[in-house]
A and B are shown apart, each in its own frame.
Chain A
Amino acid sequence: MDTGARPPPSLNCEGGISTIALPQIETVGSTRPPKKGVSPWKLWGALLLAPYVVVFIVFVVYPVGYGLWLARHPESYRQLLDDPIFAGSVVNTLIFLGVAINLKMVAALLLSGFFVQARPWIKWLSVLFILPWAVPSIPTILSIRFMLNPEWGVVNQLIFKLTAEDGPNWLNDRWLALSMAMLVHIWKSLPFWTMIMIAGRLSIAKELYEAASVDGASAWQQFKFITWPSMQTLYLTSTILSMIWTLGDFNSVYLLTGGGPADLTHILATLGIRYLRLDQVDLAMATIVCAMPLVLPLVYFMMKRLSR
């Protein structure tokens, strides 16, 4: 590999240039003591890279290696498969990925169309809209948890006032509680993805839309033939990335339902931590290893995409 410290060849060539360039080349040479092998540029490159390499080895390579070593017993996997909570968590995780993410991404795509409208009040609304993403999860998720309290939560009090009937016990039924966890997840991360989609929409040339409306294209046709073709790569990448992150979304489930009722709403991320809290580290690691067939293909896709 070239250090780049060498002057460009054009400076060495014959004619007038060399007379200007030669003294400069010599100053470069004189500041660097003639050394065999490592130039200071290479040395500093290695030195400056070192802090992160150390962090990576000490806090990623070693923990992951240690974790995989703990997860080596086939016995853990047998135990895991015998645990009915595990099967439930896999189902919940798949539902979370299939339903919550698609709902969220479609909503983000549509809402971005709303937010690019040029109105002062929409500008203000977009500032407020970021809030769920900008504030920490705990206070807001706990706030939602209280809103859903069956006796004194705002939601059920409102239902009682409107219909004179008691509302459902939101967090005490598996599917209802899981749906609420998905809503919390959507509430929290929708602003971020909407922002990404807005950026995508703003990069489309305005002339395309102008030409289309001159030709009398309907709003749907404009979306189908202009917006979607230019956004589909972004949309796909965002969906994959969101899937990876959602697999690790611990807060939405743990802080809302705690995995309850009766450990029926766990997803793989919270199940791993549950085993860890119960001091069953082998099972915790086995759970995570079982999540890898879901994670790794997505990671591979993203790596291919980004590391070009």
Chain B
Amino acid sequence: MKRYLAEAKLWLIGIPVAIWTLLPIYNLFLYSISTKQDAFAGKLWPDHPTLRNFEIVFREQHHFLGHFWRQLGNSLLIAIAVGVLTLVVATTAAFAISRLKARGGRLVLNCALFTYFIPAAFLAVPMYKAMGAYGLLNNQWALILAMVTIASPYAIWVLKQASDKLPYELDEAARIDGASPLQLFRLVYLPLMAPSLVAVGIYALLLAWNEYLYAFLLLSRDEDVTLAVALGQFLSADDSPWELLMTTGLIYALPPAAIYYVFKRYMQSGLTAGAVKA
């Protein structure tokens, strides 16, 4: 009897947690398979479920969606560029700080940590002005470089923590065998760090794909903006087609969720370990 009571208590927590978590996501899904009439009727399942919304989005058959594929491509390219550049910047820095004990490494690490702790929304205003001064506004490089700036401090921190754990004897052995610093980096360091590199690359990629604030500040032409900005533009009109907005939103939300689940193992061990060192 007591066993059942304990089990019931768990379900009593689990069911509200599931509803709380899934409700907004289910609502998103519901709109995307509803006709306009059904969408506003407040039903838990539409009378006439349809894939028509997806067809409209994929064929760009609404003036809000005139550049859907282009914007999806922008999101993808920018995310990949940020992922790759962050990896390059962070890996080299972490290697120099942790393995080569570069002069000033400690200071650079502290600068990176400081940047990591400054909320991105506060850095946005000065970043916007600086990008204007560099003449990069409305150029996709502005967004890419801004996101690399935001993603790399945490990336450096995680990679530095991970590379400190590699045994130092490895480096010594390589040096005694006459390896150059670059050989050590390429042949010893990179292969051993592979799992952390995956975690950091995916982290930067997702951060860039999901970013809204910087994207809508730094880019404005319809052909340049990412899908996130395009979604925000729906808000500006009173007669927005909500069901199409939700459909596009669902399409936009699926890739990062899928990537997260595929790389979940790397992400959780790699990132939560570095997030809070107790």
Contacts and interface: CB of A to CB of B under 8 A. Distances in A.
A157 B42 contact: yes
Given A52-B152, A55-B89, A147-B27, A45 B102 contact: yes
Nearest to B252: A139
Q: Which of B102, B185, B256, B268 has the most CB of A within 10 A?
A: B102
Interface in A285-308: 285, 288, 291, 295, 298-299, 302-303, 305-307
A306 B24 CA distance: 36
Contact of A40 (B89, B127, B181): B181
A51 B120 contact: no
Contacts of A228: none
B103 A59 contact: no
Contact of B92 (A52, A121, A152, A295): A52
B260 A134 contact: yes
A303 B213 contact: no
Q: Which of B96, B121, B145 has the most CB of A within 10 A?
A: B121
B74 interface: no
B252 A138 contact: yes
Contacts of B156: 52
Given A56-B108, A196-B275, A131 B175 contact: no
B189 to A, nearest CB: 11
A30 B133 CA distance: 50
A196 B212 CA distance: 25
A304 B189 CA distance: 29
28 contacts: A28-B176, A31-B180, A40-B181, A53-B108, A60-B115, A60-B123, A63-B123, A66-B129, A114-B13, A114-B14, A114-B17, A122-B10, A129-B17, A132-B24, A136-B209, A136-B212, A136-B256, A138-B228, A143-B25, A143-B31, A147-B27, A196-B272, A251-B213, A269-B122, A288-B122, A295-B119, A306-B277, A307-B109
Given A40-B181, A139-B28, 18 more contacts: A41-B181, A45-B181, A49-B92, A49-B97, A59-B149, A63-B129, A66-B129, A125-B18, A134-B261, A136-B212, A138-B228, A139-B231, A139-B246, A187-B21, A247-B122, A251-B212, A295-B117, A302-B113
